[in-house]
Amino acid sequence: MENNNNNNKQSPVFSIILPTFNRDQLLPRAIKSVLVQTFVNFELIIVDDASADNTTGIIKKFADPRIRYCHHANNSGAAAARNSGIRLAKGKYISFLDDDDEYLPDFLTETFKRMNGAPESVGFTWTGQSFVEDTVNGEKRVSDKHWKPGPHRPQDRYKIFLRSMNIGTGWGLTLRRQCFDHVGFFDESFRVGEDTEFILRLCETFDGMPIPENLVKVHSHSGSHLFNSIIQQAEIYDKILQKHYIKLQHDSKLLSYFHYKIGWWYYYANNRQKGRKYLIKALQADPFKMKKWLIFSYLELFGSGGILLQRRLSKRILDIYTNAAP
């Protein structure tokens, strides 16, 4: 069901799709970050994925004609919520925002500058992120994150994105609306990692353009970003491997890399049986990579405890180096 409060007959430049589920305490912050944008020609499509809290009441408090509200009768997941928003979108460009994050005020202005001046071969953009932790004393800045692929041939773009899998909708992802005609929508069989898989299909056809400024604020809080759990990371890589196997099977090094990543995550999740299965496949695909043999032996000996120890030692060494620097 959609409640359309946008009576503007002229199509907006941007359609911002904001899926939400049981986040009535956090949602107002995300909505406000859109309404204070310096670029004002947009529609905000909020897709409520069958929330059981006061999400509907919260949205009704925002008396802005640019807000459109879509309510799912049943919880269908983030992919389905984004797809509902895409079907409703009228904008030339389509952007995504998570319900617990924020756009910085110039997000749309800077994105419009890049997209409007780019050739049609550039189908999508993304921005840098500022990570903050929500504490009882307010926001605590944690880090900034950027990703820019190095120089590459167009035919290598898919492999670069597949190897890195760095960006998702939380990076201020913005697309030309015609991209969906070429690559389809989000795969609703993915309960997590659907944005990663979508971007892999997207970059097969279109160039992407990074925007170097930090224009999205990503909040860390109790219950946030559960898709980053260890076991879910393993399952995301595993499912993407199954869906994209036909493309991967002809590149033994890339296939080995993907099996290695899945195996590593399963070892980290303390599932040695699955971890061993994928590490062996990685070695079979690229048997002369000595580093993988050493890592396999290390993981067999120490398992997830070895990974945690290695991470602690790496952090300790980095801290010592940082403190010793002039």
What CA–CA distance (Å, rounded) separates 168 from 66?
Answer: 25
User: What's the token pair of residue 112?
Assistant: 């419009």
CB 89 within 8 Å of CB 9:
no
Per the model's pLDDT, the better-predicted residue between 70 and 321 turns out to be: 70
150-187 pLDDT, tens digit each: 888 888 888 888 888 789 999 999 999 999 999 999 99
Average pLDDT over residues 202-221: 93
Per the model's pLDDT, the better-predicted residue between 22 and 288 turns out to be: 22
User: What's the token pair of residue 265?
Assistant: 């995550």
Tell me the range of 41-55, 151-165, 191-205 where mean pLDDT is highest: 41-55
Domain 229-324 class in CATH: mainly alpha
CB 68 within 8 Å of CB 136:
no
The residue type of 193 is G
* pLDDT exceeds 60 at position 8: no
Which pLDDT belongs to residue 13?
98
**Strand ranges for 146-281 from DSSP E:** 174-176, 207-220
111-152 pLDDT, tens digit each: 999 999 999 999 999 999 999 988 888 888 888 999 988 888
Which pLDDT belongs to residue 152?
83
Model confidence at 319, pLDDT cuts 50, 70, 90, reads very low
Average pLDDT over residues 84-104: 98
What does the mean pLDDT of the chain come to?
87
User: What's the token pair of residue 168?
Assistant: 């998702």
Q: What percent of the chain shows pLDDT beyond 90?
A: 59
Distances (CA, A) of 268 to 70, 166, 271, 280, 282: 39, 19, 7, 16, 16
Query: What CATH number does the domain located at 2-226 have?
Result: 3.90.550.10
Asked which of 5-19, 28-42, 117-131, 133-147 is least confident by mean pLDDT, the reply is 5-19
What CA–CA distance (Å, rounded) separates 66 from 240?
Answer: 36
Which pLDDT belongs to residue 145?
92
What CA–CA distance (Å, rounded) separates 199 from 195?
Answer: 6
Which residue in this structure is represented by tokens 């990371």?
Answer: 233
Which pLDDT belongs to residue 18?
99
The domain ranges of the chain are 2-226, 229-324
User: What's the token pair of residue 77?
Assistant: 């997941």
Q: How many residues does the chain have?
A: 326
Model confidence at 304, pLDDT cuts 50, 70, 90, reads low
Asked which of 59-63, 165-169, 207-211, 224-228 is least confident by mean pLDDT, the reply is 224-228
Per the model's pLDDT, the better-predicted residue between 20 and 285 turns out to be: 20
* pLDDT exceeds 50 at position 4: no
- Sign of the alpha-carbon torsion through 45, 50, 55, 56: positive
Which pLDDT belongs to residue 223?
52
* pLDDT exceeds 50 at position 29: yes
Q: What percent of the chain shows pLDDT beyond 70?
A: 87
* pLDDT exceeds 60 at position 9: yes
